[in-house]
Amino acid sequence: MTSTKKVKVRFAPSPTGPLHLGSARTALFNWVFAKANKGKFVLRVEDTDTERSKPEFEEDIKEGLSWLGLTWDEYYKQSERSGIHKEYLEKLLGEGKAYYCFCKKDELEAQRQAMLTQGLAPKYAGTCRNLSEEETGKRLDKGDPHVLRFKVAEMKIEFKDMIRGNISFDTSIMGDMVVARDLDNPLYNFAVVVDDALNEITHVIRGEDHISNTPRQILIMNALGFDVPIFGHLPLILNPDKSKLSKRKNPTSIAYYQRMGFFP
């Protein structure tokens, strides 16, 4: 367990919009926890969504954090770590813990609808799980569209949340999950695991909307032999009617409050 290591936390925003009030609060909890434990606070910009990530949003995030006084000890851009992510994807493939999936969207939707009709939780049926190396190689050589899936073992995942206490998930309802579009394009749940491990993050403190990601990330951590950090999932900031803060309904950017004359 990581509790004996020097505390190291991270704030990992996606630069797809201005620094959000809720994100700033998450950064604050991480920063305070690091300072209280004489640890380190890492800023890691998760900019692998090339279509939506913008340099101006990255600057807005850094400026907003600086205005709030939330200084960071280390800084990373996820897009600059693509070679590292590829190395660990190849490791999973080489060890038979991940595989290429060539299923088409309409086939997957048909599977999903069939399961829903039967009253089952929809999950991937494992169609490509046992393709031979020869068949996989042929299809890759042909240039068939594909994704990379992680083999999910059916088990119970349990972890102790800093805020919520003991939480457990039954992985049998998940199915094999997509971890990358291809070797050069990992998805969130894979990239974040590799980066947290290599950044030596001891505590992952984030919004409760990430709870469903946690068992998936723990499975990948275990498969790669990484230490599992301690998790803490914060309640979200809500409107008086209990709805989530929305850019459509609320002024949610830190820059807005700064312009309005609020103090940090």
Active-site positions read 247
Backbone angles phi, psi at 149, to 5 degrees: -110, 145
Neighbours of 87 (CB within 10 A): 11
The answer for residues whose C-beta is within 8 angstroms of residue 205's C-beta and 6 or more apart is 9, 26, 29, 30, 33, 162, 231, 232, 234
Amino acid at 11: F
Euclidean distance between CA atoms 151 and 148, whole angstroms = 10
Euclidean distance between CA atoms 229 and 198, whole angstroms = 12
